[in-house]
Every structure is written in structure tokens, then in C-alpha cells.
Structure 1
């Protein structure tokens, strides 16, 4: 492609995230299509490296987050061969000890405070506009990635769901639900675990635009190009202003309180059941949520 600056962000033999610059727009793409772009720790840190690269490039004005293949992201990796929950990682979002040396809640909280909640908060503060370009599934952990962006452009085949209440867990770690949609809709979203269509998500204010699948990339890049006409510092200050307003409405403190409930649920599952996920694997979660569109 013209004006493309492409390079590996992770392992050269298997790029879990790719980076491409198209003029003033950096396109960061999740690249595990065979697993519906499920997010493991390698993906988290590859995303962080790509976002940092885009922020450090003065020619980049806007960042687009995409997913390769049929789906944007089907959530956290809870069952692929690349699941790396037991591996150490570089800590960049929070200062905490290595989770692999710990047990129980100590272990889970240390990891999730970094690779999920902490990283999504870090990305929310990126001083350049970020657009999530979503097709197909945007489920659970995929929501967190899209919600870290400033807004969402969705294909007409996109659907959104957070089915983790089936595990007894009150929503994913980056608990933005009452802020990206209204509280009553957030309750329905979580209580039922149903898939919300792109049109329903737009009606609730979670999605900005819904476009035909074949036009998703062109429409998203056109919006990015329009934003690129604005001065970078003005965009950065505007983003900070709106983020601060959300936090004054309780978003950050709300996330902190729900993160505690999230880990109470994990601990309860581990105490009374077979594991912290209530015995649910990727297939069970997928099958339980299939076909429930609203």
C-alpha cells in the first residue's frame, strides 16, 4: 500500500500484532485470526509497543485499532495453544510483583491489574485519537480494547457481548459498561449475556457509525483523515478534557470498586468450584452466547 511503513511488532515468525502507517494514520491490527484474535499477554504487550511507536511518530495524527479476519476480538485467551497466563511479563502499567511467584487472589490480581485493567487505562490516556474498527465478534476482552479507543466504527455484521456473568463474574476488568451505554442497558447487557447488534450498540451510544462490511476500512480511514486535519496538541487536550469529565462522573473510581468485585467472584469460583472461571472454557462460553442477538 502507498505510504506504508510496515514492520513486525512481535515475533517475526508469528506477528500477533501488525503495524502499518498510511500517511498520517497508524493502523494497528490484532493478528491471531485463527483464534478470532483472542488476547493473551503477548498481544497486550505487542499492542503497547505498537501504540508507543505511533505516539512517538510525529507524522502520525490518528491511530486505528483493527482485527485481522472475520472478527475484531473474541475476548481474553482462555483456551488456545498460545495461552500464556502462567508466564512472566514486563510490567509497564502498574508496579507490582511477578504474579508467577504467587498463589490465589494474589496471583490473579497481580496479573489482571497489569495486563487488562492497567493496560486499558494506559491506552485510554494515549494523547492521539484512537478509533476502533470493528467487524464480527467484539466480546468480553474485545470490548475492553474497543472501549479504550475514543470511538467505534462498526461493520453491519459486528456484534458486542459480555457473557462473563455466566462465570459468576460481574463484567470484564475494564468496567466501562455504565459509561459507554446507559446503566439500564448495561444491566440488560450483563444480566442476559446477549449479543447486541451494531445497530443496537449505536442506538445506545456505544458505537458512532455502522457501515456495510465492505466499506468499513474506507469509511474508518476517511474519518481518521478528517481528524488528521486538526492540530495534534489541540486533539490531545480535547481528549484529556473529555476523559477527565468521564472520571469526574465516577468512571475511574467505579472501575476500581468493580475490579474488587471481579476478583471476589474469581476467588468464590476457585473456592466452591473447579477453577476461577467456574469451569467455563472458550467453547462453553461461545456456545452459551450463540444466536442471542438484540
Structure 2
């Protein structure tokens, strides 16, 4: 495995691995390279029998600004191909039209999220500052979320003509009515509101975030490894029996119906009408 450039691997305590998003100069915006580097480090932690808990954290003021939309669709698809990784079951990421774009997003956003959600070891996400759109995926796939008091969560993609991010955890994280409000308004909600709704486990002061999260990870790491794995699998399986897995699959199809409509009307996967900055993004024929 090559040394990652956009993420960092640490072992701050016995039994604990820490994966850190390290693209602070770009507010840890997410591109295929970062996604696959995070996946590589999850693999590293998973393969280390001495690691019992994995913390996902980020450098800088903000946890993540979400998807990096600076690249064209073709550049994004090429980056997924160039990564050389295979996480899910899709291929031909540079195919023309819907086929290539669907495959690239399926692999890099959806299949990686599904895999991280099901990693057998407990995971804790530490969130500070802004956690926007695609960054919600990174947080939601973790078992526990600890937020700093200045954390703000949002999924503003409705403004871009999309029904929500690729990993559609909204109804499960917020409940159906609050999920609809979150999506319809595209408002940003603070850590206390996220905690009130049950999306966040704990809210702590910013300067206490790392220590609090590590203390929780160390406490969990004192428990028997096999029992932790069984407990996580039991909870995840309960959600799957309730329909979460099938609902996520269906929502991903709906997500791409939104992309298809936007490509046909605007020549780009998102509606730029209300987002002037998108007007400069190179378009391609619908």
C-alpha cells in the first residue's frame, strides 16, 4: 500500500487506531483519492489484531466541506479508475453517459460507505466545525459520533436539484419528519440539535474533542474484541431487518434519477440555478 497523501494513520493508545482527514487547506473536501485512502487505512486497522476501536477524525477548523465538486464528471470517473482499488462490484467507471457516472459513484460513495458501516470493529467519528453533505456519509457510517460544540451539520444538495447525498441515512439518523425538514429547507443544524435528535452521542467543547473521543475509545478497547464485533453485528443486523439496507439501495437509485434529470436539463449533474459558483463548472451535453 502506498503512503497516503490526504489522510493520516495514528495509534494514540493501545487498541486504538485513528484515521485523520488531512486536507485542512481545502477544508477536508472529499475526492476519490481521499475516499480510497481512508478505505486503505480502515483495511490497515481491520487487519491489525491489536486494534479494537477505530476513530475517524479530521485536521483543521472543519471536519469536511463535503464532496469536492471542482472536477468534471469525466475527471472524477477517471480518478476512480486510476485508484486501482475495487471495493464493490462495479467496473467500467469511464463509460459514456449514465453507465460510467453511476458506476463511479456506486463504487466510491456507496460501496465504500456500506463497507465502512459494516467493518467489524467499533468506530467513533469526531466532528468539529462544518460537516456538509458528503461529509455526513463519513460520520453516519460510524457507530458513535462525538461532536464539538461548534459543529454544524447540513445537507444542502436540495439547492442543487438533488434529493440528498448518496448514503441516504437521513430518516434513520433524524426520524422521517425531521429528515424531510433537514432536506427540504437545506438548513444547517448545530451540534445540540443533532444530539437532541439522537444523531450525535455527545457534544463537548472544541478543545476537549480529541481527548474525550480518545477516552471513550480506550474504554471500549478494554472490552473483549469478539464481543464488540458481535454486538456491532447484532445492532446492524437489526437495522437491516427493519429495512435499512434495502432502503439505502433504493435511495441510491433515486439519487441517480436526480442526476439524470439535471444532466438532461442543465448538462451537469446538479442544478446550478441557485448556486452561482456552479456556473463556472465545465458542462457536457445532456
TM-score, normalised relative to structure 2: 0.91
Match of 2:89 in 1: 95
2:128–2:150 Cα contact (<8 Å) kept: yes
SS in 2 for 1:85: helix
Q: How does 1:152-191 map to 2 (within 5 A)?
A: 152-191=145-184
Match of 1:3 in 2: none
Q: How does 1:93-242 map to 2 (within 5 A)?
A: 93-100=87-94, 102-242=95-235
1:41 counterpart = 2:41: no
1:156–1:211 Cα contact (<8 Å) kept: yes
The count of aligned residue pairs is 273
Alpha-carbon RMSD across the aligned residues, in angstroms, is 2.0
Provide Cα deviations, 1:202-240, integer angstroms capped at 9, x if missing partner: 000000000000100010000111101110110001000
Match of 1:21 in 2: 11
1:9–1:49 Cα contact (<8 Å) kept: no
2:145–2:201 Cα contact (<8 Å) kept: yes
1:272 counterpart = 2:265: yes
Provide Cα deviations, 1:35-85, integer angstroms capped at 9, x if missing partner: 11011111011001111111111111110000110011111111279x950
In 1, the alpha carbon distance for the partners of 2:266 and 2:183 equals: 22
TM-score, normalised relative to structure 1: 0.89
Long gaps (5+) in structure 2: 279-286
Match of 1:51 in 2: 42
Provide Cα deviations, 1:236-274, integer angstroms capped at 9, x if missing partner: 010000001111111111111111111111010010113
Match of 1:291 in 2: none
Q: CA deviation at 1:119?
A: 0.3
In 1, the alpha carbon distance for the partners of 2:49 and 2:93 equals: 36
Provide Cα deviations, 1:162-194, integer angstroms capped at 9, x if missing partner: 011112211111111111111111001100010
In 1, the alpha carbon distance for the partners of 2:188 and 2:44 equals: 34
Provide Cα deviations, 1:18-48, integer angstroms capped at 9, x if missing partner: 0001222111001111111011111011001
Q: CA deviation at 1:282?
A: 8.5
2:77–2:100 Cα contact (<8 Å) kept: no
In 2, the alpha carbon distance for the partners of 1:99 and 1:234 equals: 39
2:36–2:85 Cα contact (<8 Å) kept: no
2:7–2:19 Cα contact (<8 Å) kept: yes
Q: CA deviation at 1:93?
A: 2.4
2:128–2:147 Cα contact (<8 Å) kept: yes
Match of 2:283 in 1: none
Match of 1:68 in 2: 59
Q: Which has the higher helix share?
A: 2
